[in-house]
Amino acid sequence: MPHPAPAVFAALLLAASAAGAGEIAPADRRSGFDQMGAETRAIQRDDTANPGMLAVADGAELWARPPAAGAPACADCHGADGTGLRGVAARYPAWDARSDRPIDLQDRIRQCRRDRQGAVPPAYESPDLLALTAFVALQSRGEPIRPPADPRLDRGRAEGRALFAGRMGQLGLSCAICHDDNWGRRLGAAAIPQGHPTGYPLYRLEWQGLGSLQRRLRNCMTGMRAEPFAYGSPEFVALELYLAARAAPLPVETPAVRP
């Protein structure tokens, strides 16, 4: 299995004890876009060059097509072009009364597929789920991330915050050590971003394809030598709740491009 250079992380850990910048104030929040090279920013900026738009086009087709004979297409309820969902992705994760828990955008789409469209919900990281999620999230591009002020979400958000700040894995690192205390510095040759989930699903050059926020979080956890949470786990939804609050009011960038 591939691993990041352990020496890099070990050095970061030593540095961390002296740091402690803490949480990032709303005015200081920056998208990872700002730290990318000009060439990578140019790929994201141009929809005719952004390979993430290939998946968005797939999503538009899935949106319009009934998943099974006699079942409604997404477009039948939400409108043909998806613009009726403008701003929706900027509010997720949100409370789902039916399942009595917080739910993220991809789980909302899976739930819709299963409960309202009579289809098998697409698997996590499957091309169909990434494409539909990217198509829905694109409708909110440019909208500020606006987590709902719903007290039922408070507990999950607090859990997510604790997960973000807590040390995990064999290296004893935490999300916060990199993304609160050391953003703007370098880990290896790569700039450490603040770690805001503004562009998911996004096209990562390393992946050579589109991937979800949970895939990215699993990468981070592997880097910290921690056992990654399972796709769709409550821990990930809790982390996503906190990350959305931590990123607001940065604008949605889907489909973003990152190194």
Partner 1 sequence: MARTLINLPKTAEPGAVVTIKTLLSHPMETGFRPGPDGRILPRNIVTAFVCRFEGEEIFRAELFPASAANPYLTFTWTATRSGRFSFTWQGDNGFDQTETAAITVG
Partner 2 sequence: MREKQPDRRRVLAGTAGLALAVTLRPAVGASLPRTETTEDAIRRFAGSARIRPGRVALDLPPLVENGNTVPLGVTVESPMTPDDHVRRIGVFNERNPQPNVVTVHLRPGAGRAQVATRIRLADTQRITAIAEMSDGTYWSGSADAIVTLAACLEG
Q: Which parts of this chain interact with partner 2 (CB under 8 A)?
A: 1-5, 7-8, 11-12, 14-15, 18-19, 36-40, 42-43, 182, 185-190, 192, 205-208, 218-223, 228, 259
Contact segment (CB under 8 A) with partner 1 among 29-37, 46-54, 223-231, 245-253 equals 46-54
Q: Which does 27 bind (CB under 5 to 8 A by kind): partner 1, partner 2, none?
A: none
Q: Tell me the C-alpha to C-alpha distance, in Å, between residue 44 and each of 14, 38, 192, 193.
A: 35, 10, 19, 17
- Under the binding rule (CB under 8 A), the answer on residue 64 touching partner 1 is no
Catalogue the active-site residues: 220
Count Cα neighbours of 236 within 13 Å in the Cβ-side half-sphere.
24
Among residues 108, 240, 87, 221, the alpha carbon closest in space to that of 166 is found at 221
In Å, the largest CA–CA distance within the chain is 62
Per CB under 8 A, the list member of 15, 57, 190, 230 interacting with partner 1 is 57
Residue closer to partner 2, measured from CB, 66 or 127: 127
Q: Which does 54 bind (CB under 5 to 8 A by kind): partner 1, partner 2, none?
A: partner 1
Q: In whole angstroms, what is the distance from residue 182 CA to residue 200 CA?
A: 22
Mark 130-159 with x for binding to partner 1 (rule: CB under 8 A) and - for no binding.
Answer: ------------------------------
- Under the binding rule (CB under 8 A), the answer on residue 38 touching partner 1 is no
Burial class (CB in 10 A: 0-12, 13-18, 19+), 1: exposed
Per CB under 8 A, the list member of 4, 51, 169, 234 interacting with partner 1 is 51
Q: In whole angstroms, what is the distance from residue 135 CA to residue 254 CA?
A: 9
125 sits in the region (left: phi over 0; alpha: psi -120 to 50; else beta) called left
Residue closer to partner 1, measured from CB, 48 or 83: 48
Residues that bind partner 1 (CB under 8 A): 48-49, 51, 53-55, 57-58, 208-209
